[in-house]
Amino acid sequence: MDSPYSPMAKGKSKKQLQHLVISLVKYHFRDSHDADQLTKMISEDVDGVQYPLEQFEADKDHESLIEGLARVLEKSKQQMGY
């Protein structure tokens, strides 16, 4: 059994968190392009998504997570010229 502080355990925990967040994204973001873009950003660990994920991991506040990810998505769209 891995220690909760081992790199293997941290990797598993991170993957579980990502899976949960991606499920929430698919539920809350009805536009499939937005959900796909956020899913890709989360999976690729893009810089902007770390803070909302870390905050969610600490407080488990779904609304705050979705609001934070919406801001990240909007910023990403603006940078891409959408």
Residue 17 resides in a domain:
no
pTM: 0.77
Instruction: Give mean pLDDT, residues 74-78.
Output: 92
Buried b (16+ CB within 10 A) or exposed e, 30-41: eeeebbebbbeb
Give the model's pLDDT for residue 69: 94
Q: Of 82 and 68, which is predicted with more confidence?
A: 68
65: confidence class by pLDDT, cuts 50, 70, 90: very high
Residue 24 resides in a domain:
no
Q: Domain tally for the chain?
A: 1
Asked if residue 5 has pLDDT above 80, the reply is: no
Residue 28 resides in a domain:
no
User: 44-60: per-residue pLDDT in tens?
Assistant: 888 888 899 989 989 99
- Do residues 42 and 78 lie in contact, with contact meaning Cβ atoms separated by under 8 Å? no
Residue 18 resides in a domain:
no
